[in-house]
A = this chain, B = another copy of it.
Amino acid sequence: MAAPLDPVTGTPVVAMVGGGQLSRMTHQAAIALGQSLRVLAADPAESAALVAGDVRLGAHTDLQALAAFAEGASVVTFDHEHVPTEHLRALQAAGHRVAPGPDALVHAQDKLVLRRALAAAGEPQPAWAQVDTPADVAAFAAAHGWPVVLKTPRGGYDGKGVFVVPDEAAAADLLQTHGTLLAEQRVDMVRELAAQVARSPFGQVAVYPVVETVQRDGVCNEALVPAPGLSDELATAAQELAVRIADRLGVVGMLAVELFETADGILVNELAMRPHNSGHWTIDGAVTSQFEQHLRAVLDYPLGSTAMTAPVVVMANVLGGDAAADDWAGPGLDERIHHFMAHWPDVKLHWYGKGQRRGRKLGHVTARGTELEEVRARAVAAARYLADGVVDPAFAFEEEH
């Protein structure tokens, strides 16, 4: 069955569940391909709903809303992992294309399912166990030591649902609240990396450079590209690992493999099967952005070049900071954007249009160049100014001298 095409434009219609910034940036990419992203948003003020032409309001947990949303679309895809598996199967049964499919996506939804699959495949990961009782946790700790990392199998993201637990009593509390958990050995890691690949139904795979992600409070804060000082061997190992996972799980679309780098090599932390924060740099720093690549992959189009457009690229998130506080007395958003543009004419802004709240991902900036230290300093100072209205002394505004 050929995928339906839009009768006006003759181009495909990708329907993306979720109205966040990932959908927003995917719509930008869709525009270049002659398409208009169809967005399922819960609220008209969501990031993508503010800018897309074809917005449907509904909950991603509502099968009826999902079915109506899928009607006439070439393929249904996602800007998050929260659509129930049974709903995805129902959409497929009704003849809709779903990418990634439920059998793949479950590995990004359920951390226990992922751990089992990686174990079966013999892929490197931290020591882990499913724990149902405090005694299970104690047994795991006896083998791997305290503290133990306990994770809710489902629903966690950006550090939510992750607990570092010092003893059996703390574990008991969490098990009582959350039920079955995933226990993981606390990894003595050097840093975090991310390997991104795209895979199409045809089986074509495109591989991006491996990125170092710098976290703050469990949230990705910076992406350094390519991961500085990473050996060719380890970079290739990370890329090959991502390709193997994409193939084995039958991923369609973008796959981000979050990795821990340790003294002994790399371990898989978790997966995302969609455009991912660690790949935002590709909009300005790669020939094909992860958003365009995701569209290509879910449509079974040939994939685009992943070559970098500069030797060094750094992406820095703008998280809601001091300037998002109710009692903020400094420059407002529009004034901060004004100053940002004056001081960093070569740093690219991506603002998501969301309401400002502390800790919320409000936007990101991308800097390009040749020297990591310089590029990173520029990106981080610009992001910090947008978030907190704070001027890094190294980038002091002239009018303040």
Q: A27-B31, A53-B52, A309-B310 are known contacts. Are A341 and B302 too (CB-CB below 8 A)?
A: yes
In contact, A355 and B304 (Cβ under 8 angstroms): no
- Indicate if A117 sits at the interface (CB-CB under 8 A): no
Of B32, B304, B333, the contact of A11 (CB 8 Å cutoff):
B333
Assess whether A157 is interfacial by the CB under 8 Å rule.
Answer: no
Secondary structure class of chain A's binding surface, majority of residues: loop
Contact bitstring A274-292, B, C-beta under 8 A = 1, else 0: 0000000000000110000
Question: Contacting A24 at CB < 8 Å: which of B5, B31, B288?
Answer: B31
* Contact, CB under 8 Å: A50 / B9: yes
Residue of B5, B34, B51, B368 touching A352 (CB-CB under 8 A): B34
A33 touching B351, Cβ below 8 Å: yes
Which residues of B lie under 8 Å from residue A355 when comparing CB positions? 8
Interface check A40, CB cutoff 8 A: no
Copies in the complex: 2
Smallest CB separation, A55 vs chain B (Å):
7
Of the residues B5, B50, B302, B345, contact of A303 by C-beta under 8 Å: B345
Q: Are A31 and B8 in contact (CB under 8 A)?
A: no
Most B CB within 10 A of own CB, among A305, A334, A348: A334
The reply to whether A296 and B341 form a contact with Cβ atoms under 8 Å apart is: yes
Q: How far, in whole Å, are A293 and B310 apart by their CA atoms in the complex? A: 21
Known: A31-B51, A34-B351, A345-B305. A45 touches B8 (CB 8 A): yes
A12-58 CB contacts (< 8 Å) to partner B: 12, 24-25, 27-28, 30-36, 45, 49-53, 55
Contacts beyond the supplied A27-B51, A305-B345, A309-B368: 14 A-B pairs with Cβ under 8 Å: A8-B45, A8-B353, A10-B332, A32-B349, A32-B350, A34-B333, A34-B337, A34-B363, A36-B353, A51-B52, A51-B53, A287-B346, A303-B345, A304-B341
